[in-house]
Structures are given as structure tokens and as C-alpha cells.
Structure 1
């Protein structure tokens, strides 16, 4: 993958970030108002400011609409933004350390591990930890997958980026097979809940669950942005990066661990959602060039925007049902993947 550090959009970074933030806030307000019960943007804004004690005006809306906005749709929209940001920033980082333009957050088997954990929780253990049972089991599964990939890589002496990716693919196949086995052995009447979770969805979002992906995103993104110069060097190749002072092997493994933790946090609360981490970094590079000091924050914001938009479409395309968001992103991602393959047809991965 050829990177360039020359910006293609000559806007100052603060202007681009603040503009995308404003667009994201506006899109979240629109998303909260969309659904089987339509609520105007002005009412949505009034309810949010009232709940945050930013407005002293008396409520002119029903308790039912207030609950829809505050308890159901706003947590869902915020979760969509968090997950989109996580997937996009992880995709950008992995595309650097693996030097593979087709790398995405699910490349290393992490999503398969998270899916396995969720399947065990939903079909075999029951909700032993309350509403957090599925996210906790999914996150444990993601960590298990990450450790398994690193163990396989160490066992097969897969120290370079390409062989590490192959180890991830092999682990993903194994964990997917185990997940299918647990589905087969579980209660078939409850299998529909597993299928919906594996297709990706945001309908179970709650306020008390948002803190974990937010903190994970904050810490993981902070580390990656702090090491953006290393990511710029890694895109040039291991030898060049090493001459520039990057501890290549250690840094690559560290980034993969951080990305696995971020992906696990996203998948644990939203299920498996593709496309975002694959394509958003490419869109950002087309707009601003290949400097990871800009790619990472802008990818996070654009990923948040795209997933909030996808969630809006998922809720209005077949009303009153919610289409699993993973179906939409999978369709878009498949088409984009084919176009990307054509564009990169002369590149050897």
C-alpha cells in the first residue's frame, strides 16, 4: 500500500475535526428522532437539554416520548458512534502494521472469539451476570482469540506481518467452527437471538453499558495517536521503520494487542459489524493523504458518522422492524471490497 504524507485537503486539522464533530452531533439528533414513532429534531434537542439540566423550560412532551429519546434511542445512537469510531481507527492501525490495505478489525479472529463467547452465554450459561453477561463473555472470547493468535504465531515462528495475519485467519476458522458447534448443541429455540447478535445490532444499548466502550476507545485511541509517527514509519516497511528507530516486532505486537482489545469492546456490545474498519481509512487517505497523525482522528470521526447513518437506514428500510446493521454494512463492504480489488489489481499483498 503506498502512503503519502502530503495532505490533499488544505483545511487546518482543528477545522476538520470540529466540522465533523458538529455533523456527528446533528446526525445523532436526527437518528434519535427516526423510528416507528417519529420525533422532531427540536423536540429531541429539548428533551436532551432538559435531561442534562441545560434548559429550565417546562416539558411540553409526553413521558413516553421522553423515554423513547433518553432511554432507547440516544444510547443506541451514541453506541453506534463509539463502535464506528473503534472499528475505523483499528482498521487504520492494522493497515499500517500489517502493510495490508485490506486489513480490518476482524482480520485476526477477534470477532470470531467474541462471537464464540456470546454464543456460550446466550445458549449455555444463561444470564448469570445479568444484562452484562453477553458483553463480558464476548469480551473474554475476544481476549482468548487474541492470546490464541499470538500463541499460534509464536508456535509457528510467524514474526512477520503476513504470517501473523495467516495465523489470525486460521484461528478465526477454528473459533467459528467451535461457535457453530455450540449453536448445534444448544437450544435451537433460542438460536434466533444468537443469529441476530452475530449479524450485528445496536438495539440492546443501555446507558450503563456505554462507559466501557468509551473508556476503551479513549485509552486505545490515545495510544495509537501518540504512536502515529511509528505508524507512518511502519507503512514504509520493516527495514525502513527499523532504521528510523521503531522497534518493529514489539511495536507490531503491541498495536495488535491494543486493536484486539478495542475490537473486543466493540463486538461485545454490537455484534459483528463489517465494512467500517476496512473502507473508512481508505476514504480518509483519499481526502487528506497518508499522515497517521490526521488519519487516526479523522477515521474515528468518519467511522462514527457512517455507522450512525447506517443505523438510521437499518431502522427505516423495513419499518417497523430493525434490520441487523451488519447486513447493510456487509452489503456495502462487499461491493467496496470488489471495487478496491480492481483498483489494487497490480498490487501484491
Structure 2
């Protein structure tokens, strides 16, 4: 995963570069090659180690850790969004199947009503207008079934894209997750907060860049006894040399200073982006809460109306059986109840989808 890669890079940024080993010879006379012919001739072995600015290394390590946190937050957000999409798709599929079932029941009721009206017309009752009206209403229901089946096909395609199969699982119960208004309880603001940390690490790196880079080196020179060009013997004492290097920020006004100003500008931009993201998500959650509340209220209203229609249908049926009513009234009431139940199914699916979308914005344990 990218997050793990960033963590590894964070560790790498704190490390020192590899040391350098060197081997060689020095002060060898060209005309009389050898280590015993000149007192300055020597075999040499050396080692050097660069020590880049410790503050810069720490800042870069912190930046990579923040990058890892940002990637992890993005992954969590995407996973939550996909979960919400899956729940919404399952809810949409259940809605479409329920509405198709209600619509097919409506068609049967319309068929019964048409037969009843034709019988009344043959009996001399002038009900042509009602028969034409039923034909139009039935055609509307048939078109709705076609649209619902198309929607069901699209939902199955979405489920295949999400989980690899057309699942018929029922969506889980989906209440709104409580939110206390905390910014870091939101996926989007966690990502933005990681962006602020990245920018802050850039500022720390810019400040640390004014400090020096270091280096150490050591050279050991082995000399041998010999006779010099004058014929005098010399002792081959070994020598060594050691040194420390320190960089000087001589060109800071044109190098480190502009980089620091750029880093501070990025930090300001990241902080403004964080605030904008929080406002945007807060507004979106407020809207989702209102829409979910409206859907829940509609569910209660439709459920109450459906129960009231049960009583109405029972009363109409009793009147008809007692010879005091028309069976067409019973069928009309049943058709109306089926339409109401279809609306109720739509509101339930809408409430589940809204709750899933709301919850996907929140960080959950």
C-alpha cells in the first residue's frame, strides 16, 4: 500500500548517506617509482561521511509520515464511500423490486376494474369517461414498470461493479451516526488536516535549510623506510589526516529564503483549504440531515395513510357485501393503497441511502 511505502520513506529520510572509502598512493616519483625512494611516498586509505542537515532530515521524515497519514485517510474515505454506494444500491434494488410488485398488483386491479366498467356500460350505465381514464392510468403503470425494470438492470450492473455479483441481500438498518461537530471526526477534514501537516513539515524543512550540512573525513598514510635521492636514509613514519566540513548558507537570500516563503504560502493555502473543506462537509451533512428527517416524516405519514386505507377498504367491502356500495370503489381504494405503498417503499429506500451517505462522511471505529 502507498501508506506503507510512505512510512518506509519516512524512515529512509532520517538515515545518513553511505560512507565513502578511498584507496590510493601519493608522492610517487615518476622517474624512480617506488615507496622507498622518496620520504613523502605513501600508501593511503581514507574514509569520509557526509552528514546532511539533521533538521532537514527530520522535517522530510515528518513530511513523509504526513503523506502516509493522508494516503491512509484517503483510503478510509474511499472505503466508506464504497460501503455507502453498496448500501444505497441494495436499497435501490429492494425499492425497485417492491415497486414492480406493487405496480403488477395495480395492473391486476385495473384489469378487474376494466371488466367491471365494461359490464356496467353494457348494462346501460354511461361510464365511458371512467373506462378511458382507467386505460390512461393503466398505461402509466405499464410505463412505470418498464422504467423500474430498467432501473433494476442498472442497479445490478452497479452491484457487479462493486462486489462482483448481483446480490439480493437486504440493506442493513441505517440510522444516522451521531456527530458532535468535531472536524477530525470527518474523513474529508482528516485528509485536509494531513495536508496541513505536510505543509508545516515543508516550513520546518525551509527553516532548517539555513543550518549547515556536515562532513567528516579521515586518511591514513603508510610510509616505508628508504634512501632518498641524496643518498641519505629516512625513517618511514606513518601519517594520518582528519577533517570536518561545514557548509555556509552564503546564498540563502536566493536559495533558502525563497523556498521558505513558498513553504509558508503553501501552509497558508492548506489551512484555508482545511477550513473550506470543513464548511463544505458541514453544509452537506446539514442538508443530508434535513433530507433524511423529511424522508422519515414521509414514511410515518405514508404508513399512517396506508393503515387508514386498510380501514376504508374494509368498510367499502362491507358496504358492497351488504348491497349498499359499488365494487369499483373497493378497487379504486386498493389501487390507491398500492400507489401509496409504492411511495412508501421509495421513501424508505431514500432514507437508507441518505443515512448511508451521511455516515460515510464520518470516521467510525
Q: When the two structures are superposed, what TM-score results if normalisation uses the length of structure 1?
A: 0.22
Considering fraction of residues, name the structure with more helix: 1
Q: Indicate the structure (1 or 2) with the bigger Cα radius of gyration.
A: 2
Q: When the two structures are superposed, what TM-score results if normalisation uses the length of structure 2?
A: 0.21
Higher relative contact order (CA closer than 8 Å, sequence separation 6+): 1
Considering fraction of residues, name the structure with more strand: 2
